[in-house]
């Protein structure tokens, strides 16, 4: 079984929904229209990076470079062996670019030592001071000077980890670099993205990914000689991780000290200098190339990084040419599906096709070939629920107002503040019987959980449910959410999961045909969910115990949304203390959870307060009608 992220990212240019015949046709097109060159490009410190270059055969034109730097292999290797297609989608390949694929330092056939989300070197004093920015600069410099028939311009794109390498091209960018598109870019592995959310370990992604990706590579290798995928002994992720007993047991049993990054997780449980050095955002200054940041609202891996990257560039570069495109997509769904639906939810149009036609291809044509008339909005956003593309001058939009949804007694949710002076819900959370992140049995983490029906969770006594009356008019949310919880626990630590949900009316029509027997009447569509580890409520750098039995505030921001709750629907908020095995379990006592033993996990009694003095609420950003 190949870990989820490796499986989806090693072949980022393939449409998974495309028929085999189309891929065969693409392969023939590549062979007939491109010449392949393999080159070891020497970096400033002498390390050589393996690079595959596909050059259009047309001698009558000069072409720009379109570069993808990746840790997931540029295979196939061999000058006579060609990729089945080039670029993100067929129209990009047929447009004609000099496509460049490079194994990043320390991966596959490149020399050097790999470092996960390699830190930037801010003050470079010698040729030994390298980072991903210098490797990108040196690559472009070599390409421009040595590949014939190039027009002196380069662009970079990448999804997820390659999205991170796209972002790192921006600090000190080469003068030839004119267009950069970080797509679902890895950005901050502690506060958000793949491996942590607000300091909480995202267990399945970390273990599944690093069990293969993190295996050391002492010398350059090709995929057939690379690490084999981890074979899970139980085809039920909930049981596998629960029966392991603890994160420490997982490491001891399966990794020992063989996975460097897993060791780093254990050595750096808090937001210390290790994680701070791996945050690219402070270095996104003096940005010169045009930038198009792309992501999906239902991206299970890097929704945080998309917004963080865009906002950091905006904040630190007021005059930069920097735009945002967000759609109703899973991780890479803008090129890995038609985008007409996701999970059980239909969008009524091929949103991915729209994106490819109206954004990505025009973006690179305009800035690399000086062709077309690319005039997008600052923020190009697909709003689910109403299922329409909207254009905004800023993101979040200016034409909004902040409203507060207050938790109420008896499971109610309202824009009116509670008048009672004593009101709370009390329940027991047992980490040995954690709330699953999705209904049913899964062998691996699914992508659909980001948008799935939450009725299974609402039935549990350790999930508290609050919902409005049926809406009398449409309400569109466009921007961030803020959870403002007032809680107490008999433990000294706890996780808090807040989920924003769109509840369909009971007479909502189910899809036709309906082979999966989906019942849309009363469907609880997850719009956004996020977790907060309680000990980090005041500081990620300095965790603090919760005083048992003491009323405590836990406030945190959830990733942005763009969704219309239609008239007749209800807005629901669910609150729980586990989200397993998506997130690792909290023992519910203050400690280094990486050192927790099975005996450390204990039940705790929780209260969620909703009275006039202690109002738990969700702050939302509402688009003015």
Tell whether the model's pLDDT for residue 505 goes beyond 80: yes
Tell whether the model's pLDDT for residue 159 goes beyond 90: yes
Q: What tokens appear for 504 in the block?
A: 């369909």
> 169 and 76, same structural domain?
yes
Nearest-10 Cα torsion for 332, 476, 408, 590 = 30
Tell which of 258, 293, 323 closes a domain. 323
> 13 and 122, same structural domain?
yes
Q: What is the pLDDT of residue 26?
A: 75
> 286 and 157, same structural domain?
yes
* Sign of torsion over alpha carbons 384, 389, 393, 399: negative
Residue 377: half-sphere exposure toward Cβ, Cα within 13 Å:
15
Q: What tokens appear for 183 in the block?
A: 């797509």
What's the structural domain count of the chain? 2
Q: What is the mean pLDDT of residues 263-283?
A: 97
C-alpha to C-alpha distance for 123 and 283, rounded to whole angstroms: 11
Containing structural domain, residue 433:
400-623
> 544 and 419, same structural domain?
yes
Q: What is the pLDDT of residue 524?
A: 98
Q: Is residue 184 part of a domain?
A: yes
Question: Strand 290-296 vs strand 177-183: parallel, antiparallel, or unpaired?
Answer: parallel
What confidence tier does 2 reach under pLDDT thresholds 50, 70, 90? very low
What confidence tier does 516 reach under pLDDT thresholds 50, 70, 90? confident
Tell which of 291, 323, 355 closes a domain. 323
What confidence tier does 21 reach under pLDDT thresholds 50, 70, 90? very low
Task: Yes or no: say if 594 and 266 are a contact pair by the CB < 8 Å rule.
Answer: yes
Task: Compute the mean pLDDT over every residue in the chain, rounded to the nearest whole number.
Answer: 94
Task: Yes or no: say if 385 and 298 are a contact pair by the CB < 8 Å rule.
Answer: no
Tell whether the model's pLDDT for residue 18 goes beyond 80: no
CA-to-CA dists, residue 448 to 50, 251, 454, angstroms: 36, 28, 12
pLDDT tens profile 320-346: 999 999 999 999 999 999 999 999 999
Q: What is the mean pLDDT of residues 585-592?
A: 98
Tell whether the model's pLDDT for residue 17 goes beyond 60: no
Q: What is the pLDDT of residue 24?
A: 62
What CATH number does the domain containing 293 carry?
Answer: 3.40.50.1820
Question: Strand 322-327 vs strand 290-296: parallel, antiparallel, or unpaired?
Answer: parallel
Q: Is residue 299 part of a domain?
A: yes
What confidence tier does 27 reach under pLDDT thresholds 50, 70, 90? confident
Residue 522: half-sphere exposure toward Cβ, Cα within 13 Å:
5
Percent of the chain predicted with pLDDT > 90: 93
> 467 and 595, same structural domain?
yes
C-alpha to C-alpha distance for 28 and 39, rounded to whole angstroms: 23
Q: What is the pLDDT of residue 22?
A: 54
pLDDT tens profile 390-429: 999 999 999 999 999 999 999 999 999 999 899 999 999 9
Tell whether the model's pLDDT for residue 5 goes beyond 60: no
Closest CA to 77 of 109, 44, 119: 109
Tell whether the model's pLDDT for residue 358 goes beyond 50: yes
What CATH number does the domain containing 425 carry?
Answer: 2.60.120.260
Tell whether the model's pLDDT for residue 1 goes beyond 60: no
Rg (CA), the chain: 25
Percent of the chain predicted with pLDDT > 70: 96
> 405 and 317, same structural domain?
no
Q: What is the pLDDT of residue 503?
A: 98
| Whole-structure pTM value | 0.95
C-alpha to C-alpha distance for 610 and 513, rounded to whole angstroms: 43
> 25 and 165, same structural domain?
yes
Q: Is residue 581 part of a domain?
A: yes
Category of 87 on φ-ψ map: left (φ > 0), alpha (ψ -120 to 50) or beta: left
Tell whether the model's pLDDT for residue 224 goes beyond 60: yes
pLDDT tens profile 228-244: 889 999 999 999 999 99
User: Phi first, then psi: what are they for 46, rounded to 5°?
Assistant: 95, -10
Tell whether the model's pLDDT for residue 178 goes beyond 50: yes
pLDDT tens profile 77-129: 999 999 999 999 999 999 999 999 999 999 999 999 999 999 999 999 999 99
C-alpha to C-alpha distance for 137 and 174, rounded to whole angstroms: 5
> 297 and 411, same structural domain?
no
Tell which of 294, 323, 352 closes a domain. 323
495-534 as b/e: b if 16+ CB within 10 A: bbbbbbbbbbbeeeeeeeeeeeeeebeebbbbbbbbbbbb
What confidence tier does 512 reach under pLDDT thresholds 50, 70, 90? confident
Q: Is residue 218 part of a domain?
A: no
C-alpha to C-alpha distance for 612 and 423, rounded to whole angstroms: 9
> 433 and 309, same structural domain?
no
Q: Is residue 591 part of a domain?
A: yes
């Amino acid at each position: 079984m190949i870990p989820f992220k490796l499986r989806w990212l090693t072949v980022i240019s393939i449409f998974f929904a495309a028929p085999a015949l189309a891929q065969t046709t693409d392969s023939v097109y590549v062979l007939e229209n491109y010449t392949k060159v393999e080159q070891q490009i020497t970096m400033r410190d002498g390390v050589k990076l393996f690079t595959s270059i596909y050059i259009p055969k047309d001698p009558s034109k000069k072409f720009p470079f379109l570069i993808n730097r990746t840790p997931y292999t540029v295979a196939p290797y061999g000058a006579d062996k060609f990729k089945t297609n080039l670029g993100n989608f067929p129209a990009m390949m047929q447009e004609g670019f000099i496509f460049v694929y490079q194994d990043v330092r320390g991966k596959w056939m490149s020399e050097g030592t790999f470092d996960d989300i390699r830190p930037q070197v801010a003050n470079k004093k010698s040729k030994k001071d390298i980072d991903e920015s210098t490797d990108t600069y040196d690559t472009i410099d070599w390409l421009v000077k040595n590949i014939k028939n190039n027009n002196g311009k380069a662009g970079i794109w990448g999804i997820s980890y390659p999205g991170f390498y796209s972002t790192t091209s921006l600090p000190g960018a080469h003068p030839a670099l004119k267009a950069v598109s970080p797509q679902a870019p890895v950005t901050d592995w502690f506060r958000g993205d793949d491996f942590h959310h607000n300091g909480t370990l995202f267990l399945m992604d970390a273990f599944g990914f690093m069990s293969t990706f993190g295996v050391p590579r002492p010398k350059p290798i090709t995929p057939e000689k690379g690490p084999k995928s981890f074979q899970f002994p139980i085809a039920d992720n909930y049981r596998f991780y629960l029966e392991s007993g603890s994160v420490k047991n997982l490491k001891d049993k399966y990794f020992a000290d063989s996975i460097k990054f897993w060791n780093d997780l254990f050595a750096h449980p808090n937001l210390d200098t290790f994680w701070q050095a791996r945050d690219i955002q402070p270095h996104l200054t003096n940005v010169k190339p045009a930038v198009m940041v792309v992501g999906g609202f239902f991206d299970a891996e890097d929704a945080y990084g998309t917004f963080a990257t865009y906002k950091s560039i905006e904040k630190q570069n007021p005059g930069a040419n920097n735009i945002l495109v967000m759609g109703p997509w899973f991780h890479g769904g803008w090129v890995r599906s038609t985008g007409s639906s996701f999970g059980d939810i239909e969008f009524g149009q091929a949103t991915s096709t729209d994106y490819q036609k109206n954004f990505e291809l025009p973006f690179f044509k305009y800035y690399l070939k000086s062709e077309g008339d690319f005039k997008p909005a600052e923020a190009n956003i697909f709003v689910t629920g109403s299922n329409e593309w909207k254009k905004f001058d800023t993101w979040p939009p200016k034409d909004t107002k902040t409203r507060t949804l207050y938790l109420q007694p008896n499971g109610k949710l309202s824009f009116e503040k509670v008048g009672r002076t004593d009101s709370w819900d009390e329940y027991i959370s047992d980490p040995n019987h954690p709330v699953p992140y999705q209904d049913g049995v899964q062998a691996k983490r699914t992508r659909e959980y980001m948008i799935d029906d939450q009725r299974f969770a609402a039935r549990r006594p350790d999930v508290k449910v609050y919902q409005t009356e049926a809406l009398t008019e449409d309400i569109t949310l466009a921007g961030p959410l803020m959870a403002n919880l007032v809680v107490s626990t008999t433990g000294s630590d706890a996780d808090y999961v807040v989920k924003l949900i769109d509840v369909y009316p009971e007479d909502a029509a189910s899809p036709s045909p309906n082979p999966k027997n989906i019942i849309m009447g009363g469907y609880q569509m997850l719009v956004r969910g996020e977790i907060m580890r309680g000990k980090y409520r005041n500081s990620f750098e300095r965790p603090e115990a919760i005083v048992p039995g003491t009323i405590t505030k836990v406030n945190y921001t959830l990733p942005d949304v763009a969704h219309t709750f239609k008239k007749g629907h209800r807005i629901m908020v669910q609150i729980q203390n586990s989200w397993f095995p998506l997130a690792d379990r909290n023992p519910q006592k203050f400690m280094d959870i990486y050192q927790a033993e099975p005996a450390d996990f204990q039940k705790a009694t929780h209260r969620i307060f909703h009275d006039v003095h202690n109002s738990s609420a969700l702050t939302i950003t509402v688009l003015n009608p």
